[in-house]
DNA sequence: TCCTTACCCGGCTTAGAACG
DNA sequence: CGTTCTAAGCCGGGTAAGGA
């Protein structure tokens, strides 16, 4: 016995995935080429192993328990990894790869990075899929568990086991309505302190650093609205007389709609470095290296 | 070293109970 | 009524043990 504690048999992983997908023991058995009782017996072993019913009979079929819901992603990733063992050669070929790249990023990056990144991926890896995942406090763990291939953002708290590469320096700009009643083409410090602001509240986001920087310069801003995301910002700014401090790229992109205008901040705000992060386990992995190179190349010419 | 035997294990079929 | 679970018994392959 090589590893008595190795949690599970590959066949049982396949079974788990198939029952989860088909919501049926019988259909899973048919698809796996097994007799139905065999599936039932394996399921019993899985239930003992995980100390959970995993699937329960209902009028809608064999529905997964919360435990099964929690396991399915890990199971699928394990199976994906095992299937890759059979791919010809170990080297990575973007032109033929059929997999999902999971990239954690802020919603601001959905505007500033994702379109260009997606265009490159679609061109070079037409069979691959991309999943954008919110970048949160648990990002280091998710990188380690291979739930996320790459994390892009301002995440100074990542360290052990996580590699990083600087992508670009991000500075800030102010966004106001294109029809603002008092602010023209320049934003003065008096305007900045006198007008009301929208604050973006995202744990770990770049924007959380801003109030620290303003406080150091003894500049106050009157935040009357806090939102969790940049995505609805344009409509909010356009329909109000509020000021929003946003990453320069986001501001310029949103201002192109004509609803809002991007103005230089009257206060010096420190630029922050946006980096990409990956786990040490995948440092030599062909697919991960390729993905990192694509992301880095997006910013080389700037 | 080779062969036989016994045993274990995984998977099968069948049958019946339990359940929604 | 259809689906799922469980038990009993069978079969084939692998393996360990023992004998020639």
Q: How far, in Å, CA of A193 to CA of A166, rounded?
A: 33
A90 domain-assigned: no
pLDDT digits (tens, 9 = 90+) for A217-233: 999 899 999 988 887 88
The predicted structure's pLDDT at residue A5? 39
A33 against A121, higher pLDDT? A121
Residues A285 and A263 grouped into a single domain? no
Average pLDDT, chain A: 81
Asked if residue A150 lies in contact with residue A101, where contact means CB atoms within 8 angstroms, the answer is yes
Residues A283 and A164 grouped into a single domain? yes
Whichever domain contains A35, its CATH number is 1.10.10.10
DSSP A275: E
Q: Is the CB of A192 under 7 A from strand C?
A: no
Within A160-238, residue ranges assigned H as helices are 189-194, 210-216, 233-238
Whichever domain contains A142, its CATH number is 3.40.190.10
Handedness of CA A123, A124, A130, A136 (dihedral sign): negative
Q: Is the CB of A43 under 7 A from strand C?
A: yes
Question: Among the three residues A59, A85, A111, which one is the final residue of a domain in this structure?
Answer: A85
Protein residue nearest nucleotide C4, by CA to C1': A25
A91 domain-assigned: no
Within chain A, residue ranges assigned H as helices are 10-22, 25-32, 36-50, 66-84, 107-112, 114-124, 139-144, 189-194, 210-216, 233-238, 248-255, 286-297
A162 domain-assigned: yes
CA–C1' distance A279–C9 (Å)? 52
A12 against A157, higher pLDDT? A12
A1 domain-assigned: no
DSSP string covering A45-89: HHHHHHTS--EEEETTEEEEPHHHHHHHHHHHHHHHHHHHTTSSS
The predicted structure's pLDDT at residue A142? 82
A4 domain-assigned: no
Task: Show the domain range for A20.
Answer: 10-85
pLDDT digits (tens, 9 = 90+) for A89-145: 557 788 888 889 999 998 878 888 899 999 999 999 999 999 999 887 778 878 877
A69 domain-assigned: yes
**pLDDT, mean of residues A280-292:** 83
Q: Measuring from the CA of residue A61 to each C1' atom, give the nucleotide at the shortest distance.
A: C3
CA–C1' distance A6–B20 (Å)? 36
Beta A196-200 vs A243-247: how paired, if at all? parallel
Q: Is a pLDDT exceeding 50 seen at residue A20?
A: yes
Q: Measuring from the CA of residue A57 to each C1' atom, give the nucleotide at the shortest distance.
A: B20
Residues A260 and A294 grouped into a single domain? no
Q: Is a pLDDT exceeding 90 seen at residue A70?
A: no
CA–C1' distance A38–C8 (Å)? 14
CA–C1' distance A30–B14 (Å)? 18
Question: Among the three residues A24, A59, A85, which one is the final residue of a domain in this structure?
Answer: A85
CA–C1' distance A84–B14 (Å)? 39
Q: What percent of chain A is modeled with pLDDT above 90?
A: 31
What does pTM read for this prediction?
0.58
The predicted structure's pLDDT at residue A249? 84
For chain A, what is the domain count?
3
The predicted structure's pLDDT at residue A2? 28
Residues A126 and A69 grouped into a single domain? no
The predicted structure's pLDDT at residue A7? 46
61-120 of chain A touching strand C, CB 7 A cut-off: 61-62
Residues A252 and A119 grouped into a single domain? no
Residues A33 and A66 grouped into a single domain? yes
Asked if residue A265 lies in contact with residue A172, where contact means CB atoms within 8 angstroms, the answer is yes
Residue A48's pLDDT band, with cuts at 50, 70 and 90, is low
Residues A288 and A159 grouped into a single domain? yes
Residues A74 and A135 grouped into a single domain? no
Q: Which nucleotides of C are covered by protein (CB under 7 A)?
A: 3-8
The alpha carbon of A41 is separated from its chain's Cα centroid by a whole number of angstroms, namely 38
């Amino acid at each position: 016995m090589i590893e008595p504690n190795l949690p599970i048999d590959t066949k049982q992983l396949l079974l788990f995935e198939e029952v989860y997908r088909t919501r049926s023991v019988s259909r899973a058995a048919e698809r796996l080429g097994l007799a139905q009782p065999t599936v039932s017996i394996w399921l019993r072993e899985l239930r003992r192993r995980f100390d959970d019913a995993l699937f329960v009979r209902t009028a809608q079929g064999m529905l997964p328990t919360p435990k099964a819901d929690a396991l399915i992603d890990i199971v699928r990733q394990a199976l994906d990894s095992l299937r890759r063992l059979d791919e010809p050669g170990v080297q990575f070929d973007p032109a033929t790869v059929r997999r999902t790249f999971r990239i954690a990023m802020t919603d601001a990056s959905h505007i500033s990075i994702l379109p260009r990144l997606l265009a490159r991926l679609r061109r070079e890896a037409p069979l691959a899929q991309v999943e954008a995942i919110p970048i949160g406090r648990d990002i280091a763990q998710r990188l380690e568990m291979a739930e996320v291939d790459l994390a892009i953002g301002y995440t100074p708290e990542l360290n052990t086991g996580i590699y990083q590469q600087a992508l670009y320096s991000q500075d800030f700009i102010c966004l106001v309505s294109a029809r603002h009643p008092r602010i023209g083409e320049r934003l003065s410090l008096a305007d900045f302190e006198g007008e009301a602001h929208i604050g973006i509240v995202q744990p770990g986001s770049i924007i959380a650093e801003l109030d620290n920087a303003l406080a150091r310069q003894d500049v106050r801003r009157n935040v009357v609205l806090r939102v969790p995301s940049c995505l609805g910002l344009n409509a909010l700014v356009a329909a109000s007389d509020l000021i929003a401090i946003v990453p320069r790229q986001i501001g310029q992109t949103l201002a192109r709609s004509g609803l809002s205008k991007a103005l230089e901040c009257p206060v010096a705000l420190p630029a922050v470095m946006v980096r990409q992060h990956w786990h040490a386990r995948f440092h030599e992995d062909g697919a991960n290296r390729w993905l990192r190179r694509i992301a880095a190349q997006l910013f080389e010419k700037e």
